[in-house]
Structure 1
Amino acid sequence: MSDRRVPLALATVVCLLVAGCSGFAPAASPEPTSPTATPVEVPRAPDLDGGRLLAAGVSANGVFDPEALASAHRDRLATTTYHLVRNRTVRYANDSRAALRPRESLDFVHEESVVVPAADAYTFTKLETSRRAWTAAASYARVDVWFHEPVVRNRFVDAGGTARYWGFDDERSGGPLADPSSHRLVAADLAAVETRVTGQETVDDVTRFRLRGSSRADAANLSTPPLARDPRNVTFVGVVDERGLVVSYTLAYDATFAADGSRLRVRQTHRLRQVGDVDTARPSWLPAANESVVGSR
């Protein structure tokens, strides 16, 4: 079912719904030819704690500068197309069923994006399913964005299946979202853990490093979902490569449910599903959005 009336508030809602989630700000640089990467021995610097530099912000002893690594991740992705998926699951710690079926959790958020920086284009989808006890759920169960500078189209779908549209195409804006690579969230997550390098492998002539980590003393500063308090028992496993790309990671921790004091288990995942050779397909809902936006003028 579709509602063609477009509330003025939707222009603001899209920003609120993605606050704290993946954001997108396309950069216009073409995909370069990938050279064969050859690891180079780098002189030890005082802040590397005796370790050899493996990637920006990463030494043989682990991540020593989360912001430097996250920035390298952002800068690399600004030069190529990519498909990024991020999930967040919040469940009661003793709910073994939800551990196997994330969509049956107390709250489940799925974000997926395809970004083409050279074309100033991206698609973004955010889905959220939650139980009634999770009162912090977003107003809309699904948010879709299709952006191809200067055209912006958004679709908002509520839990009942009613769709609303919003958009514009008369000015260059960079799109309604920011931070295409989620580098701010990556930096915050990495800052919450003390990591070590546990191994390495070569994929397509690029060296990847496996990381494992646990809580830092400042884990209380971890960016947590609404209603989740006092994060603790943090664990981290991830993969980064020598170019600074944060390929994937899983961050998990216990927390306290502000509503009733129950123990929660929170799990956040980040995965670059593909880097290079992706494009932004026109979504099936785009004609309805175009008609709605044009008809509202």
Structure 2
Amino acid sequence: MNRSQLLPIVVAAVVVLAGCNALTGGDDTETDTPTVTPVDVPTDEPTATPMPMLAPGLTEAGVVSASDLANAHEDALDNGSYTIVSNSTVRDANGTLRYQRNRIMRVSEGSEPFYAVSRYNGSGRQPVVTLQRIERWSDGERLYSAIVRENETRYSTSALNRAFISVQKGDQFLSLFTALETRVVGQETRNGTELYRVRATNITNPEYLPRSVLNTSKNPRNISFRALVDSEGIVQSYHLGYTTTEINRGVETTNRVTQSLRYTDIGSTTVERPAWYEAANRTTTAAG
């Protein structure tokens, strides 16, 4: 083959090879390849919106701070007047009443003078069942008592024990709402005041439940609880019920314990000295 015949074949081969490079992208220039920019991936969880406070320590989820609610209750009633109506009962498994105490306590402006009437019924061990009614009055410094039995009334006086008037303080609600898991189920209006309805869903700390007259009990269960709380944090009323087991001399007895309390006449309660005050004072003077 002469030179003139060889040249066209070489050129053809070059053209074919060039075509192959064009199909396989062998060219170093990548002008048609798009550039991908990395997107930042969020690593933090979104911040939850806190539930609004309906009252100090209270949200729609229930009591979130028992101490805040208890303090608000005490602060709102401090130095004010009010009446407390309370009731405690213990019934055995067949419904027979074993013990009952009813108390009405009136506290005057300044939270010092008060007058309380307690009535007892049933066969509970504490307080002593022979007491049918106890009336107590205080001028803020001394406590005067009239203890009424069937056919006898005894009088006494003593220095005022601050523990006696703890019923209107916030400690009872600190214990109560520490014992229970609660939630708000609605609201209502009474005498122009907006109240939140609180219910219990569980007993979380049974050791904080208010103690009943029974001195040995265990396994509180079948909880029933409702309360009304206003926007200031005043627990205007509550009703508590639960079943428990009393252990007496090795014998277990099932009982149903109920306790209720309500505040009335807030800001309008007055306290007058009882008619038996002079008799109590004379008795104390004679004893001295």
Which bin holds the TM-score, normalised by the shorter protein?
0.7 to 0.9
* Whole-angstrom distance in 2 between the partners of 1:265 and 1:184: 24
In structure 2, the CA distance between the partners of 1:120 and 1:182, relative to structure 1 (3 Å rule), is closer
TM-score by length of 2: 0.74
Question: Match for residue 167 of structure 1?
Answer: 157
Query: Normalising by the residue count of structure 1, what TM-score does the alignment of the two structures yield?
Result: 0.72
Q: Residue in 2 aligned with 1:9?
A: none
> Does the aligned pair in 1 maintain the 2:66–2:178 contact within 8 Å?
yes
Partner of 1:290: 281
Alpha carbons 2:72, 2:234 under 8 Å: kept = yes
Instruction: Give the aligned residue type for 1:248.
Output: S
Structure 2 residues without counterparts, runs of 5 or longer: 1-46
Whether the 8 Å CA contact 1:193–1:234 is kept in 2: the answer is no
- Does the aligned pair in 1 maintain the 2:78–2:111 contact within 8 Å? no
Q: Distance in 2 between matches of 1:214 and 1:112?
A: 29
Aligned 8 A contact 1:115 1:180 in 2: no
Q: Distance in 2 between matches of 1:49 and 1:155?
A: 56
Higher relative contact order (CA 8 A, sep 6+): 1
> Where do residues 248-267 of structure 1 align in structure 2 (5 Å cutoff)?
248-259=237-248, 260-267=251-258
Distance 1:161 1:182, change over 3 A: farther
For residue 194 of structure 1, what is the aligned residue in structure 2?
181
**Who is 2:125 aligned against?**
135
- Give the distance between the partners of 1:194 and 1:66, measured in 2 at CA: 10
**Secondary structure at the counterpart of residue 243 of structure 2:** strand
**1:206 and 2:196 correspond:** no
Is residue 234 of structure 2 the alignment partner of residue 242 of structure 1? Answer: no
SS in 1 for 2:164: coil
Contact 2:181 2:202 in 1 (8 A): yes
Q: Does residue 51 of the first structure (1) align with residue 38 of the second (2)?
A: no
Cα distance in 1 for residues equivalent to 2:257 and 2:168: 22
Gaps of 5+ in 1: 1-45, 99-104
The match for 1:184 is 171
1:106 aligned partner, one-letter code: R
Contact kept? 1:146, 1:154, Cα under 8 Å: yes
Please say if residues 121 and 148 of structure 1, whose CA atoms lie closer than 8 Å, have aligned partners that are also in contact: yes
Provide the C-alpha distance between the structure 2 equivalents of 1:199 and 1:149, rounded to a whole number of angstroms: 39
1:214 Cα deviation from its structure 2 partner: 2.8
Q: What is the letter of the counterpart of residue 156 of structure 2?
A: W
Report 1:72-87 matches (<5 A).
Answer: 72-87=72-87
Offset of 1:83 from its aligned partner?
0.2
Cα RMSD after superposing both structures: 2.5
Q: Percent identity?
A: 26
**Conserved? CA contact 1:136–1:227, under 8 Å:** no
Larger Rg computed on CA atoms: 2
For the structure 1 residues 54 and 151, does the alpha-carbon distance in structure 2 shift closer, same or farther, using more than 3 Å as the test? same
SS of the aligned residue for 1:189 comes to helix
For the residue of structure 1 that corresponds to 2:265, the secondary structure is: strand
Q: Which residue does the alignment assign to 1:91?
A: 91
